[in-house]
Structure 1
Amino acid sequence: MPVHAFIDESVRDSRYYLCVAVLDPACLAETRKRLTALLLPGQRELHFKKEKPPRRRLLADRIGGLSAATSVYVTARTRKTEEQDRQRCLFEAVRDLVSVRAHRVVIDSREEQDRHDQTTIYRALGGRPSDTGVSYEHLDSAAAPLLWIPDAVAWCYGAGSDWRRRVMPVVHQVIEL
């Protein structure tokens, strides 16, 4: 059965983390509802970096209990730019998503930098995206609550220690590049 995937990133010291959350289409509405229920009054989105530690713990525990399978792509930041690290991780992630029959891929938008992702995705799909059945789009995380999953998992995994432990139930694989 085709799946949907949601991608976001986190950067910590000398490591770059790209997280892909994969969900069964039958779980999308319920998971979205559970995430939006976590918003505070007046809050438009969950963004882990902006939350205070006690709230982060609550959110990490809740996200760790969702019906999602995440993959974390990690690279040591030995490249010249963070963009190169991102594109290296994204290339591998998209290739892996093709193998699990991803139907829709949603990537957290970085505005003008989205063009770099588009080039990488085109290359990863073998220059023939329509042959793969994969469609992708960049969206702002306020418009796509399911992007909050990879945001939180990437942040927590990168933070290590207790943060990592809290989201490990949804981390199915870690790929070191």
Structure 2
Amino acid sequence: MDPTPQRIAYVDETSAKTGTGTRLYGLATVLTEARHHQVIAAEMATVLPPGRDYLHHYDETPVRRAAIAKVIANLPLDGAIVLTEVASSQQQERARTRLLAHLLPRLQHDEGVEQVFLESRSGADKHDRRTRERLRSSRRISTDFRVDHIAKSATALIWLPDFVAGAYIAARFHGEAEPWEMITTGHVVDVISL
């Protein structure tokens, strides 16, 4: 019998203006199995333009977004989670802390994830580490639950939550529904507003 596949989650943030002085802040998470990473990375590399180190939803045209969403819809992913909260621009770090405090225990205990990779925000990573340590201290996550930061250029897998988040925002706020529809037809995506 094969051992249980190692489940890994990749997380990226998103935000969009919702009205006067408020923003929708969110975290998108894509769940994967380590045994599929080579295939996922190879497929994502096929849509990377020459001369670029990474994909970013915002940088793509609507036509390219749809093409990338089609690739993502056909990848062997275990699904995705989008958590959102409305906050002012000054409250985004607090919103991120709150969303991570909800997300990390869910990933470990409900989804069976063994490791989480957050896209690095350089100096701001310290806030995420503080949240992780508080969750460990309160025993909401275990000390062996890995939560690490990686650069966007480190692996094609960290591009996935960026595209899930970007497709969600584009569908909800900018009338660009096709990529979001493709992704959610291909995968289960839980969208949760806190």
TM-score scaled by length of structure 1: 0.91
2:159 maps to 1:158: no
Render the CA deviation track for 1:98-142: whole Å, top value 9, x for unaligned: 112221111100000000011112222345699453112111111
2:98 maps to 1:88: yes
Secondary structure at the residue paired with 1:137? strand
Match of 2:31 among 18, 22, 25: 22
The residue aligned with 2:127 is 116
- 1:72–1:171 contact (8 Å) kept in structure 2: no
Moved segments of 4+, more than 6 Å? none
Match of 2:145 among 122, 129, 134: 134
Secondary structure at the residue paired with 2:114? strand
- 1:157–1:167 contact (8 Å) kept in structure 2: no
- 1:106–1:138 contact (8 Å) kept in structure 2: yes
Secondary structure at the residue paired with 2:101? helix
CA distance in 2, matches of 1:157, 1:139: 23
CA distance in 2, matches of 1:79, 1:40: 32
The residue aligned with 1:72 is 82
Render the CA deviation track for 1:49-99: whole Å, top value 9, x for unaligned: 111221111112211222221111011225842111111111111011111
Q: Are residues 42 and 148 of structure 1, via their aligned partners in 2, closer, same or farther at CA, if it must alter by over 3 Å?
A: same
Please list every run of 5 or more consecutive structure 2 residues that lacks an aligned counterpart in the other structure: 18-22, 172-176
Q: Counterpart of 1:135 in structure 2: which amino acid?
A: R
Q: Counterpart of 1:12 in structure 2: which amino acid?
A: A
Q: Give how far 1:22 is off.
A: 0.7
- 1:39–1:45 contact (8 Å) kept in structure 2: yes
Higher Rg: 2
CA distance in 1, matches of 2:144, 2:91: 31
- 2:108–2:141 contact (8 Å) kept in structure 1: no
The residue aligned with 2:174 is none
Q: Give how far 1:6 is off.
A: 0.3
The residue aligned with 2:43 is 34
Secondary structure at the residue paired with 1:125? helix
The residue aligned with 1:8 is 12
CA distance in 2, matches of 1:42, 1:29: 21
Please list every run of 5 or more consecutive structure 1 residues that lacks an aligned counterpart in the other structure: none
Q: Are residues 129 and 142 of structure 1, via their aligned partners in 2, closer, same or farther at CA, if it must alter by over 3 Å?
A: farther
Instruction: State the aligned residue count.
Output: 177
Secondary structure at the residue paired with 2:48? coil
